[in-house]
Amino acid sequence: MMTVSGGVLEGVRIVEFAGIGPAPFAAMLLADMGAEVVRVDRPGAKLMIPNHITGRGRPTVEADLKNPDDVERVRALIDSADGLMEGFRPGVMERLGLGPDILLERNPRLVYARMTGWGQDGPMAQFAGHDINYISITGALAAVGPSERPVPPLNLVGDYGGGALYLVNGLLAGLHSAGRTGKGQVVDCAMCDGAVSLMAPLLEMAAADRWLPEREANMLDGGAPYYRVYRCADGLDVAVGAIEPQFFAELCRGLGIDAAEMADRHDEAQWPALRDKLAAVIASKPRAEWLERLELGDACFSAVVTYEEAAENPHLKARASMVEVDGLVQPAPAPRFLGTPSAIRSERRETITMDQAIDRWAAR
């Protein structure tokens, strides 16, 4: 097994209760940054996805949480932990005897991070849902897609943006507080809350009368001719994001357009005609030709590629943003720390016994 020492979170111990969605991704980020994460899963559990990228970097211990003896051994492991992550419905951990009241009494410095879609309370708290539901009530889903209908932005906004990243943020802030005060606490991380938080810039623009509720009617939702996806002669797509005047001027030069013809680009009434003009010009040549003219410059012009093509993108390759580990292409750790670099701590799923996990932490 490949192991790498160090990392900005070296010495931090996290217990992760196995689940799906944002919590495993959050645990991956913490493990990449050097935290020592132990994943607790049920005996004989099978991975939903064989190539488990989000499960990298930490060992698994098996425990039957309906067995009082196993529950007590999990408690013993948590006694030595700095943080805990769980993604069950509200009340499940309490019924298992692993709720925050019991665990914080045993380990007062513990940061107990809870990941759900709806949060620990509220009228929806006990009901099922998925990313699309959590973001639908926030206004985020309604803002994405063509004018005809909303389009789910994968599960990046709820599960990962509003979920996993806020979970990591909350857990790390809790650890910082516990380090100063000696007192842990519960972090209630709800994907709907995170998605609302992510909407702050849009709400700010709306309050200033700079955002309309209709889709494809705003600067950043594909409505503006200078911030939109266009199709080239070969059927491939490019992304244009030339918002600022100097960047838009560079775009026009590369496209062979007289910038004076686009003088009304901020007049929303002119947007349909200007979009049509840009679309016709870009559709006249294959993507490679446009990229040769515009990609390396300030025109804010780039290829729209598939996830498979992304691994071959020259910029991402130069930065080693994607790496191949044991034959599997996957994201490199992010963000980057120059003093204490993050790393993929192990590339394969490792199962250890509960005794091994307890002894490892007890020995330190």
Catalytic (active-site) positions:
130, 159
Q: In angstroms, what is the C-alpha Rg of the chain?
A: 24
Phi, psi dihedral angles at 152 (to 5 degrees): -60, 125
Identity (one letter) of the amino acid at 188? D
Q: How far is CA 122 from CA 88, 116, 119, 139, 309, in A?
A: 16, 12, 7, 18, 43
Structure tokens at 159: 């599960």
Angle at 225 between CA 221 and CA 229, to 5 degrees: 65
Q: Say how far apart CA 105 and CA 113 lie, in whole Å.
A: 16
Going by DSSP bridges, is the β-strand pair 13-17/328-331 parallel, antiparallel, or unpaired?
Answer: unpaired
Angle at 203 between CA 198 and CA 205, to 5 degrees: 120
Phi, psi dihedral angles at 363 (to 5 degrees): -75, -10
Which residues neighbour 199 within 8 Å (Cβ) at sequence distance 6 or greater? 138, 139, 140
Contact 80, 361 (CB under 8 A): yes
Going by DSSP bridges, is the β-strand pair 185-190/227-231 parallel, antiparallel, or unpaired?
Answer: unpaired
Using omega within 30 degrees of 0 as the cis cutoff, is the peptide bond preceding 335 cis? yes
Contact 112, 185 (CB under 8 A): yes
- Tokens 């080693």 locate to 320
